[in-house]
Amino acid sequence: MYASASAKYADLLYHDGLVSKPVVFATNKLVVIVPRSNPAHVASVYDLRRSGVKVVIGDKTVPVGTYTRQILDALGITSDVLRNVVSEETDVKGIVAKVALGEADAGFVYATDARSVSKRVRVVSLPAWAQPPVRYELAVVSASRHPTAARAFIKKVTSPRGRALLKGAGFGVPKR
């Protein structure tokens, strides 16, 4: 199996014949998290432009970093916010940890990751119109020795029960 938080990678592998046609099994959205005490008084994504606000984002080589840059571009505030970036993390857990521990004033993460630390952070929503499409995909690896089991797994994840479990965990599910 191959699972990806970015359709880009699964689609490239499919194009090269390394995986079967990817199936979108879940969606997500980006949010900004701030420490529960919110010392920088961040109430909007636009507040991240203020001098002295310490922002953590994903590295540009990982999906959350790519999505963050896309939303900043859509909002027209990329250079102002990037000036305040104090760390670029290689995964969402690093962003969540720095904000939850108060080492940063704000960070861009997936809504599902914000749920896991809801007692330590507050969520600042981002405009729906600026959200990049965050789609998670599954594909069977072409060289798999167990393709039948892999296809059965995809069927289970995309079944009504699988979709209900994903929704319960805070993910969106694609329209059928």
Domain containing 20 equals 2-27+135-168
**How much is the pTM?**
0.91
- The model's pLDDT over 29-54, given as tens digits with 9 standing for 90+, comes to 999 999 999 999 999 999 999 999 99
Q: Do residue 35 and residue 118 come from a single domain?
A: yes
Q: Do residue 21 and residue 35 come from a single domain?
A: no
Q: Do residue 16 and residue 35 come from a single domain?
A: no
The mean of the pLDDT values for the chain is 96
pLDDT for position 137:
95
Phi, psi of 118 (to 5 degrees): -60, -20
Q: Do residue 34 and residue 82 come from a single domain?
A: yes
In a domain, 174, yes or no: no
Q: Do residue 38 and residue 92 come from a single domain?
A: yes
In a domain, 173, yes or no: no
Q: Residue 126 belongs to a domain with what CATH number?
A: 3.40.190.10
Q: Do residue 99 and residue 125 come from a single domain?
A: yes
Instruction: Report residue 104 as tokens.
Output: 């940063």
Those residues whose C-beta lies under 8 Å from the C-beta of residue 174, and which sit 6 or more positions away, are: 24, 25, 26, 27, 135
Q: Does pLDDT of 7 surpass 90? A: no
Q: Do residue 45 and residue 15 come from a single domain?
A: no
Q: Do residue 93 and residue 49 come from a single domain?
A: yes
In a domain, 126, yes or no: yes
pLDDT for position 175:
84
Residue 172, SS3 per DSSP: strand
Q: Do residue 126 and residue 153 come from a single domain?
A: no
Q: Do residue 156 and residue 97 come from a single domain?
A: no
- Altogether, the residues listed in the chain come to a count of 176
Label residue 53 exposed, middle or buried (CB < 10 Å: 0-12, 13-18, 19+).
buried
Those residues whose C-beta lies under 8 Å from the C-beta of residue 116, and which sit 6 or more positions away, are: 96
Q: Do residue 98 and residue 11 come from a single domain?
A: no
Q: Do residue 150 and residue 70 come from a single domain?
A: no
In a domain, 81, yes or no: yes
Q: Does pLDDT of 176 surpass 90? A: no
Q: How many domains does the chain have?
A: 2
> What pLDDT band is residue 5 in, cutting at 50, 70 and 90?
confident
In a domain, 9, yes or no: yes
> What pLDDT band is residue 58 in, cutting at 50, 70 and 90?
very high
